[in-house]
Chains A and B, each alone.
Chain A
Amino acid sequence: MRIAVVIPAFNEAQAIGDVVRDIVEHGHDPVVVDDGSSDATYEEARRGGATVLRHWVNRGYGAALTTGSDWAVQRGYEIVVHFDADGQHEVDEIAAVTQPVADGEADVTIGSRFLGQGRRIPLLRKILIKAAILFTRVLSGVALSDAHNGFRAFSSSALRQIQCREDGMAYASEVVERIGRRGLRLREVPVTISYTDYSLGKGEGNLAKLRVGLQFLWGKLTQ
C-alpha cells in the first residue's frame, strides 16, 4: 500500500524538517504543501526528503490539504493521510491510523485524543473541544469523540467522493459533514496529541476556534 502523508505548512520552517525526516524513516512518503510561507519552510521540507507542493499565495489549511490530497490521488497513492506540521502528532501512530483503511474495514479514519491515553489537555481547550463535538454532531449527524482532529486517513476512492470547498480551518468541520453525507465508513482511532509550547503557540487561540465555527455556519447558509 502506498501511503502519502499530506502536511499543510505555513511558516513551519522550525519544525517541518524533523517531522518530514521522521515520516521518511517510517517508510511513508511525506507530501508537504507550503502554503505561501515567507520563511524557509519549502527548503527545509525538501531537505528533509519531502515532495513539496508550493502555494504561491497563502490559501489556508483546507485549500492546502485539498491540493496535497488531489496530487496524491492523481499520483496513484492508495491511502492519503492528513498530518499536522507542528509536531503535535506522532509519526509512530500513522500505522494505526491507516490500518483500518488498509484492511478495508473503513473508508476514512479520524484520530481522537479522547479514545487514547492522551496527555493532559488544558481545561479551557477541553471545554471548547467538547462544545465543538456537539456542534459537529448537530450539524453533520456524525457522532465523534473528538473535534477538529487534523490526523486523518482516507482511501483514495473516499477522497474522490469528498469534494470540500472550505479553504480555511472550517475544512475540519466540512470534511466530517461530507463523510456523513456520503455515508462513508468512518472509524475513530486513538491518537496522542503533544501540546508542546511550540504547537500551542502555532495553533490558533481559543477565540479563533470560535470564529472557525461561525465561519462554517456562514458557509453552510450561503453556499
Chain B
Amino acid sequence: MLIRIATLLVVALLLARLAQRYRRREMSLRRILFWSLPWLAVAVVMLSPELADAIAVRLGVVTATGVDFLVYIAVGLLFYGFFRLYIRLDRAERDLTRLVRHIAIRELGDD
C-alpha cells in the first residue's frame, strides 16, 4: 500500500512539473499530453492493480515478484531520463540553429 501511495505521489509530482512547463510556455499542449501518457498509465496501474493484472494475464505475462517490480521502476527511471535528454537535446538543437542563423545574417551585414 505504501509503495502505491509513494508512486502516486511521484507521478503527481512529475505531472505537476509538466504542467509547470506548459504554464511557462516551454512546451505545447500536444507535447505535454504525449509525455503525460506514460505517467498516467502508471497512475492507473497504481490505483487499480487488478486492472493491470487482468491486462497482464490477458497478454500472457504472469508476474508477481518483487524483482519484477524493480525492473518496472528501472524502466520508469530510464524513460524519465530519456524524456529529459530529449527535451534538452531538442532545446540545444533549436538554440544552435538560431545561433548559426544569427551569425550568418550578421556576418553578411558586416561585409
Contacts and interface: CB of A to CB of B under 8 A. Distances in A.
Contacts of A56: 100, 103-104
Contacts of A53: 104-105, 107-108
Secondary structure type dominating chain A contacts: mixed
Interface in B20-38: 28, 30-31, 34-35
Contacts of B90: 222
B93 A55 contact: no
Contacts of B30: 220-223
B97 interface: yes
Interface string B80-111: 00000010001001101100110111011000
Of A165, A167, A222, most B-chain CB atoms within 10 Å: A222
A155 interface: no
A48 to B, nearest CB: 16
Interface in A33-51: 33, 51
Contacts of B34: 221-222
A63 interface: yes
A33 B103 CA distance: 12
A55 B100 CA distance: 6
Contacts of B35: 222
B101 A67 contact: yes
Contacts of A167: 93, 97
A125 interface: no
Give the interface size bracket for B toward A: 10 to 19
Contacts of A74: 105
A165 B27 CA distance: 13
A74 B34 CA distance: 36
B96 A33 contact: no
Contact of B94 (A33, A52, A165): A165
Nearest to A167: B97
Nearest to B101: A67
Interface string B25-54: 000101100110000000000000000000
Nearest to A53: B104
Interface string B47-76: 000000000000000000000000000000
Contact of A71 (B28, B103, B105): B105
Interface of A: 33, 51-57, 59, 63, 66-67, 70-71, 74, 165, 167, 220-223
24 contacts: A53-B104, A53-B105, A53-B108, A55-B104, A56-B100, A56-B103, A56-B104, A57-B96, A59-B97, A63-B100, A66-B101, A67-B100, A67-B101, A67-B105, A71-B104, A71-B105, A71-B108, A74-B105, A165-B94, A167-B97, A220-B30, A222-B30, A223-B28, A223-B30
When A and B form their complex, which 10 residue pairs have the shortest distance between CB atoms, in order from nearest? Answer: A53-B104, A67-B101, A63-B97, A59-B97, A55-B100, A222-B31, A71-B105, A57-B100, A221-B34, A59-B100
